[in-house]
Amino acid sequence: MMTRPELLAPAGDMERLETALRFGADAVYVGGPRLQLRAGSAGFSMEDLALAAERVHGAGRKLYVAVNAFPDNAEVAEIGDYARALLDIGADAAIVADLGAIAAIRAAAPALDVHVSTQANCVNYMAARVYHDMGATRVVLGREMTLEQIAELRAKTPKDLELEAFVHGAMCMAYSGRCMISAYLTDHSANRGACTQSCRWRYHLTEEKRPGEFFPVEEDDRGTTILSSFDLNCLDFLDRIVDAGVTSLKIEGRMKSPYYVATVVNAYRRRIDDLLTGAATPERTALLQRELNAASHRAYASGFYFGAMKKHAPEDGTYLQDCAFVGIVRDRLPGGRVRVEQRNRISDGDVIEVLSPNSLEVQFIARNMTDIGGGPLEVVAVPQTLFDMDAPEGVGAGDILRVRNHKQ
């Protein structure tokens, strides 16, 4: 039977952190106010980090804080104070890429665990040993590694060095995420937390004697976004990743919505539990893959775990999503009713699917919608409007409501 791994989920704010915990994450990783690679849009203040640590530890889980930007000379002196502050608020580990930052954190706050970021490009056992000698307790493996390479690294490194690997989400076109395209085109560096995702733009070719004429750059007949990667999806072979020696399975997406976090964490939590209990049938696996298709994604691939990926662009570079996120249940009311916070248009008669850690494949018809004063509603179209509706027993606070696309 598979050894139980840690399921590690992303959170860009407190709502997403709460969502990750509710849907089964064993640990959550976040960014703080300094030196994290999602600067400005997915960073917690120190006060919020303290609240996050309290909430996570209250649920018996762990909190890791990304400190994985590459510091310049002026920032090096701040790292020690920041590390001590993270330790004081209860962070379980700092995720770090820069060698100098690792040394500074170990010197200033030796009780704070250090996880070596995938940005450090650790893809061999000797590098992993060096990080262990520096005091790192975990290495987040470079995404270019195959299962065989991971197994060899595991066999040749100290047993107390934990290994973490990405299993789901967006993949960067650069080597382990070290990319200069955004910095070159927009003066916003990915390695400083300001990536504009320039690799996912659509590009055209121009000929010098025909200015203003744009020709699509085509690798094949499926698309023109030649720099844009597939999304990673390892649901089918999670057990093989764990068997290779990985102890933490990481989901990408600190910039993603609460709906995305709920959908993906829910599917992977159920998959891990199925593998641990022997319930991982082909039918069950197909159902969980259907769940993953309900969240926004690019065409899925298995990354480099089995060797080189396909080199053509997926589905013209567009995002795919089988379901629309329409609301969050805020409260269970008397008389078989629920109070819902709207997120997308919902109409009387829509077939509502319930995303919940307590059930799978629950559906009901949107009926008897009213505003919170009791006035009837045929359609709710204004985001974050609170309204009431009928719902079956078991649908409760925190559950997410979605509508499957009509074309499916």
Token duo for residue 209: 């004697």
pLDDT of residue 140 exceeding 80, the answer is yes
pLDDT band at 298 (very low <50, low <70, confident <90, very high): confident
Q: What's the confidence (pLDDT) of residue 62?
A: 98
Residue type, 289: Q
Residue 76 and residue 105 in contact, taking contact as beta carbons nearer than 8 Å: no
Q: What is the mean pLDDT of the chain?
A: 89
Using the structure block, give the residue that is written with the tokens 């008389």: 335
DSSP 8-state code for residue 118: G
Among candidate residues 363, 327, 369, the one with its CA nearest the CA of residue 348: 369
pLDDT in tens, 315-334: 445 678 899 999 999 999 99
pLDDT band at 117 (very low <50, low <70, confident <90, very high): very high
Reported as half-sphere exposure (CB side, CA atoms, 13 A), residue 11 has a value of: 31
List, by residue range, all CATH 2.40.30.10 domains of the chain. Answer: 323-404
pLDDT in tens, 184-238: 678 777 666 667 777 767 776 777 788 877 766 655 544 445 565 788 999 999 9
Percent of the chain with pLDDT over 90: 72
List, by residue range, all CATH 3.20.20.70 domains of the chain. Answer: 6-175+228-317
pLDDT band at 295 (very low <50, low <70, confident <90, very high): very high
pLDDT in tens, 371-388: 999 999 999 999 999 999
Q: What's the confidence (pLDDT) of residue 299?
A: 83
Residue 383 and residue 343 in contact, taking contact as beta carbons nearer than 8 Å: yes
Among candidate residues 69, 61, 118, 71, the one with its CA nearest the CA of residue 91: 61
Q: What's the confidence (pLDDT) of residue 188?
A: 74
Token duo for residue 158: 């100290």
pLDDT of residue 255 exceeding 90, the answer is no
Q: What's the confidence (pLDDT) of residue 319?
A: 74
Mean pLDDT value of segment 108-119: 96
- The whole-angstrom separation of Cα 98 and Cα 119 is 8
Domain 323-404: CATH superfamily is Translation factors (2.40.30.10)
Residue 145 and residue 116 in contact, taking contact as beta carbons nearer than 8 Å: no
- The whole-angstrom separation of Cα 26 and Cα 5 is 9
pLDDT band at 407 (very low <50, low <70, confident <90, very high): very low
The alpha carbon torsion through 384, 389, 395, 401 (nearest 10 deg) reads -40
- The whole-angstrom separation of Cα 95 and Cα 10 is 13
3-state secondary structure 302-340: CCCCCCCCCCCCCHHHCCECCEEEEEEEEEEECCCEEEE
Q: State which fold the 6-175+228-317 domain adopts.
A: TIM Barrel (3.20.20)
pLDDT in tens, 57-98: 999 999 999 999 889 899 999 999 999 999 999 999 999 999
Mean pLDDT value of segment 379-404: 96
pLDDT band at 312 (very low <50, low <70, confident <90, very high): very low
Q: What's the confidence (pLDDT) of residue 207?
A: 77
Residue type, 258: P
The alpha carbon torsion through 367, 369, 374, 376 (nearest 10 deg) reads -100
Reported as half-sphere exposure (CB side, CA atoms, 13 A), residue 399 has a value of: 27
pLDDT of residue 1 exceeding 80, the answer is no
Q: What's the confidence (pLDDT) of residue 30?
A: 96
pLDDT band at 15 (very low <50, low <70, confident <90, very high): very high
Q: What's the confidence (pLDDT) of residue 311?
A: 40
Beta partners for residue 116, in sequence order: 96, 139
- The whole-angstrom separation of Cα 398 and Cα 332 is 10
Q: What's the confidence (pLDDT) of residue 69?
A: 87
Beta partners for residue 300, in sequence order: 231
